[in-house]
Protein backbone atom coordinates (compact mmCIF):
# COMPACT_ATOMS: atom_id res chain seq x y z
CA UNK A 1 0.00 0.00 0.00
CA UNK A 2 1.37 3.38 -0.97
CA UNK A 3 2.02 5.90 1.76
CA UNK A 4 -0.53 8.75 1.49
CA UNK A 5 2.24 11.26 2.26
CA UNK A 6 3.85 10.58 -1.10
CA UNK A 7 0.78 11.78 -2.96
CA UNK A 8 -0.37 14.52 -0.61
CA UNK A 9 2.87 16.35 0.13
CA UNK A 10 3.69 17.50 -3.43
CA UNK A 11 0.13 18.76 -3.84
CA UNK A 12 0.33 20.55 -0.51
CA UNK A 13 3.54 22.32 -1.45
CA UNK A 14 2.13 23.38 -4.81
CA UNK A 15 -1.12 24.66 -3.33
CA UNK A 16 0.67 26.60 -0.60
CA UNK A 17 2.90 28.32 -3.15
CA UNK A 18 -0.14 29.11 -5.28
CA UNK A 19 -2.12 30.47 -2.33
CA UNK A 20 0.86 32.49 -1.06
CA UNK A 21 1.50 34.11 -4.43
CA UNK A 22 -1.17 36.78 -3.87
CA UNK A 23 0.52 37.81 -0.61
CA UNK A 24 3.91 37.86 -2.32
CA UNK A 25 2.57 40.02 -5.13
CA UNK A 26 1.12 42.53 -2.68
CA UNK A 27 4.36 42.50 -0.71
CA UNK A 28 6.42 43.24 -3.79
CA UNK A 29 4.16 46.11 -4.83
CA UNK A 30 4.22 47.74 -1.40
CA UNK A 31 7.97 47.11 -1.18
CA UNK A 32 8.51 49.05 -4.39
CA UNK A 33 6.44 51.88 -2.94
CA UNK A 34 8.46 51.91 0.30
CA UNK A 35 11.78 51.98 -1.51
CA UNK A 36 10.68 54.73 -3.87
CA UNK A 37 9.11 56.88 -1.13
CA UNK A 38 12.24 56.61 1.02
CA UNK A 39 14.67 57.62 -1.72
CA UNK A 40 12.36 60.27 -3.19
CA UNK A 41 12.17 61.83 0.27
CA UNK A 42 15.93 62.25 0.40
CA UNK A 43 17.24 59.11 2.09
CA UNK A 44 20.15 57.23 0.50
CA UNK A 45 19.39 53.96 -1.28
CA UNK A 46 21.04 51.81 1.38
CA UNK A 47 18.71 52.98 4.20
CA UNK A 48 15.45 51.33 3.01
CA UNK A 49 17.37 48.29 1.74
CA UNK A 50 19.18 47.61 5.03
CA UNK A 51 16.08 48.45 7.06
CA UNK A 52 14.05 45.91 5.10
CA UNK A 53 16.62 43.18 5.65
CA UNK A 54 17.19 43.83 9.35
CA UNK A 55 13.88 45.22 10.61
CA UNK A 56 11.48 43.64 8.08
CA UNK A 57 8.24 45.22 9.27
CA UNK A 58 6.26 47.02 6.59
CA UNK A 59 4.05 49.40 8.58
CA UNK A 60 6.80 50.07 11.14
CA UNK A 61 9.26 50.84 8.33
CA UNK A 62 6.88 53.31 6.69
CA UNK A 63 6.31 55.03 10.04
CA UNK A 64 10.01 55.17 10.90
CA UNK A 65 10.88 56.64 7.50
CA UNK A 66 8.04 59.15 7.88
CA UNK A 67 9.53 60.33 11.16
CA UNK A 68 12.99 60.64 9.58
CA UNK A 69 11.69 62.58 6.58
CA UNK A 70 9.73 64.88 8.88
CA UNK A 71 12.94 65.84 10.65
CA UNK A 72 12.81 63.46 13.59
CA UNK A 73 15.94 61.75 14.86
CA UNK A 74 16.89 58.05 14.66
CA UNK A 75 15.75 57.41 18.24
CA UNK A 76 12.28 58.82 17.57
CA UNK A 77 12.02 56.79 14.36
CA UNK A 78 13.10 53.60 16.16
CA UNK A 79 10.63 54.21 19.01
CA UNK A 80 7.77 54.71 16.53
CA UNK A 81 8.61 51.52 14.67
CA UNK A 82 8.96 49.57 17.91
CA UNK A 83 5.56 50.74 19.12
CA UNK A 84 3.86 49.68 15.90
CA UNK A 85 5.63 46.33 15.88
CA UNK A 86 4.76 45.41 19.47
CA UNK A 87 1.76 43.48 18.17
CA UNK A 88 4.08 40.83 16.71
CA UNK A 89 4.81 39.66 20.27
CA UNK A 90 1.25 38.32 20.43
CA UNK A 91 1.58 36.90 16.92
CA UNK A 92 4.78 35.14 17.95
CA UNK A 93 2.98 33.35 20.78
CA UNK A 94 0.27 32.25 18.34
CA UNK A 95 2.76 30.56 16.00
CA UNK A 96 5.43 29.48 18.49
CA UNK A 97 4.74 25.80 17.85
CA UNK A 98 5.18 26.27 14.09
CA UNK A 99 8.80 27.40 14.15
CA UNK A 100 10.38 24.03 14.91
CA UNK A 101 13.31 23.08 17.15
CA UNK A 102 16.73 24.72 17.33
CA UNK A 103 17.76 28.27 18.19
CA UNK A 104 18.74 29.21 14.64
CA UNK A 105 15.44 27.96 13.21
CA UNK A 106 13.40 29.74 15.86
CA UNK A 107 15.38 32.96 15.42
CA UNK A 108 14.83 32.91 11.67
CA UNK A 109 11.17 32.05 12.15
CA UNK A 110 10.70 34.93 14.59
CA UNK A 111 12.14 37.29 11.98
CA UNK A 112 9.52 36.10 9.48
CA UNK A 113 6.52 36.74 11.76
CA UNK A 114 4.23 39.26 10.05
CA UNK A 115 0.49 39.88 9.92
CA UNK A 116 0.28 38.06 6.60
CA UNK A 117 2.33 34.96 7.43
CA UNK A 118 0.53 34.46 10.75
CA UNK A 119 -2.92 34.88 9.19
CA UNK A 120 -2.05 32.53 6.33
CA UNK A 121 -0.58 29.88 8.65
CA UNK A 122 -3.39 29.89 11.20
CA UNK A 123 -5.98 29.58 8.44
CA UNK A 124 -4.72 26.06 7.65
CA UNK A 125 -6.63 23.01 8.97
CA UNK A 126 -3.88 21.07 10.75
CA UNK A 127 -0.52 21.57 12.48
CA UNK A 128 1.64 20.11 9.69
CA UNK A 129 0.02 22.30 7.06
CA UNK A 130 0.16 25.37 9.32
CA UNK A 131 3.90 24.85 9.81
CA UNK A 132 4.49 24.43 6.07
CA UNK A 133 2.31 27.44 5.27
CA UNK A 134 4.22 29.63 7.71
CA UNK A 135 7.62 28.83 6.19
CA UNK A 136 6.49 28.88 2.56
CA UNK A 137 4.67 32.20 2.88
CA UNK A 138 7.25 33.70 5.24
CA UNK A 139 10.37 32.96 3.18
CA UNK A 140 8.67 33.91 -0.07
CA UNK A 141 7.32 37.18 1.31
CA UNK A 142 10.71 38.11 2.79
CA UNK A 143 12.41 37.55 -0.58
CA UNK A 144 9.79 39.41 -2.63
CA UNK A 145 9.52 42.30 -0.17
CA UNK A 146 13.25 42.95 -0.19
CA UNK A 147 13.47 42.62 -3.96
CA UNK A 148 10.64 45.14 -4.29
CA UNK A 149 12.28 47.58 -1.87
CA UNK A 150 15.57 47.38 -3.78
CA UNK A 151 13.78 47.96 -7.10
CA UNK A 152 11.83 50.91 -5.71
CA UNK A 153 14.92 52.45 -4.11
CA UNK A 154 16.89 52.18 -7.35
CA UNK A 155 13.98 53.67 -9.29
CA UNK A 156 13.99 56.63 -6.91
CA UNK A 157 11.83 59.48 -8.09
CA UNK A 158 11.10 57.92 -11.47
CA UNK A 159 7.82 56.45 -10.18
CA UNK A 160 6.49 59.83 -9.10
CA UNK A 161 3.93 60.00 -6.29
CA UNK A 162 3.36 56.34 -5.34
CA UNK A 163 0.39 57.31 -3.15
CA UNK A 164 -1.75 58.09 -6.19
CA UNK A 165 -1.54 54.44 -7.31
CA UNK A 166 -3.21 53.21 -4.13
CA UNK A 167 -0.33 50.85 -3.37
CA UNK A 168 -0.85 51.27 0.36
CA UNK A 169 -4.16 49.40 0.06
CA UNK A 170 -2.58 46.19 -1.26
CA UNK A 171 -1.60 44.65 2.07
CA UNK A 172 -4.88 45.38 3.92
CA UNK A 173 -6.84 43.92 1.00
CA UNK A 174 -4.79 40.72 1.02
CA UNK A 175 -5.01 40.39 4.80
CA UNK A 176 -8.78 40.76 4.64
CA UNK A 177 -8.94 38.02 2.02
CA UNK A 178 -6.92 35.72 4.29
CA UNK A 179 -9.08 36.16 7.36
CA UNK A 180 -12.48 36.04 5.67
CA UNK A 181 -12.70 32.20 5.70
CA UNK A 182 -12.11 32.14 9.47
CA UNK A 183 -14.69 34.88 10.00
CA UNK A 184 -17.28 32.96 8.00
CA UNK A 185 -16.75 29.62 9.75
CA UNK A 186 -16.22 30.59 13.40
CA UNK A 187 -18.68 32.66 15.41
CA UNK A 188 -16.15 33.20 18.19
CA UNK A 189 -13.62 34.65 15.77
CA UNK A 190 -16.28 36.96 14.33
CA UNK A 191 -17.20 38.18 17.81
CA UNK A 192 -13.56 38.86 18.72
CA UNK A 193 -12.92 40.60 15.38
CA UNK A 194 -15.94 42.89 15.78
CA UNK A 195 -14.99 43.75 19.35
CA UNK A 196 -11.40 44.46 18.30
CA UNK A 197 -12.57 46.68 15.44
CA UNK A 198 -14.88 48.58 17.80
CA UNK A 199 -12.04 49.15 20.28
CA UNK A 200 -9.70 50.37 17.54
CA UNK A 201 -12.29 52.76 16.09
CA UNK A 202 -13.20 54.12 19.52
CA UNK A 203 -9.65 55.04 20.50
CA UNK A 204 -8.35 56.14 17.08
CA UNK A 205 -9.30 59.85 17.47
CA UNK A 206 -7.32 60.17 20.72
CA UNK A 207 -4.56 57.57 20.48
CA UNK A 208 -1.28 57.90 18.55
CA UNK A 209 -0.81 55.90 15.37
CA UNK A 210 -0.27 52.20 16.02
CA UNK A 211 -1.78 52.13 19.52
CA UNK A 212 -5.37 51.37 18.38
CA UNK A 213 -4.14 48.14 16.77
CA UNK A 214 -2.44 47.10 20.00
CA UNK A 215 -5.50 47.89 22.11
CA UNK A 216 -7.69 45.92 19.71
CA UNK A 217 -5.77 42.78 20.70
CA UNK A 218 -7.63 42.93 24.03
CA UNK A 219 -10.57 41.35 22.18
CA UNK A 220 -8.59 38.09 22.04
CA UNK A 221 -9.61 37.39 25.64
CA UNK A 222 -13.07 36.50 24.34
CA UNK A 223 -11.67 33.54 22.41
CA UNK A 224 -11.50 30.07 24.00
CA UNK A 225 -8.17 28.28 24.27
CA UNK A 226 -6.81 27.25 20.86
CA UNK A 227 -7.74 23.67 20.03
CA UNK A 228 -4.83 21.59 18.74
Q: CB atoms < 10 A from the CB of 222, how many?
A: 14
> What's the mean pLDDT when you consider all of the chain?
76
3-state SS, the chain, equals CCCHHHHHHHHHHHHHHHHHHHHHHHHHHHHHHHHHHHHHCCCCCHHHHHHHHHCCCHHHHHHHHHHHHCCCCHHHHHHHHHHHHCCHHHHHHHCHHHCCCCHHHHHHHHHCCCHHHHHHHHCCCCHHHHHHHHHHHHHHHHHHHHHHHHHHHHHHHHHCCHHHHCHHHHHHHHHHHHHHHHHHHCHHHHHHHHHHHHHHHHHCCCCCCCHHHHHHHHHHHHCCCCCC
pLDDT value at residue 12? 61
Q: Which residue has the higher pLDDT, 212 or 4?
A: 212
Tens of pLDDT, residue by residue over 112-165, are 888 788 888 887 878 888 888 889 888 999 999 999 999 988 887 676 666 666
Question: What is the C-alpha separation between 172 and 26, in angstroms, rounded?
Answer: 9
Tens of pLDDT, residue by residue over 78-88, are 776 777 677 67
pTM for the whole structure: 0.66
Tens of pLDDT, residue by residue over 19-53, are 788 788 888 888 888 888 888 878 888 988 998 89
pLDDT value at residue 111? 85
Amino acid sequence: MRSPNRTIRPWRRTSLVRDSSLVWLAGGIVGVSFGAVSVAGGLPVWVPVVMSLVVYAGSAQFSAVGVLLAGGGPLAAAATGLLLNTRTAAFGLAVADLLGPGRVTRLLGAHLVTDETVAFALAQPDLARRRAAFWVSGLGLFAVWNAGVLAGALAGTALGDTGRYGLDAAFPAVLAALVLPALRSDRGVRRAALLGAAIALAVTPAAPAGLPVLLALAALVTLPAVRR
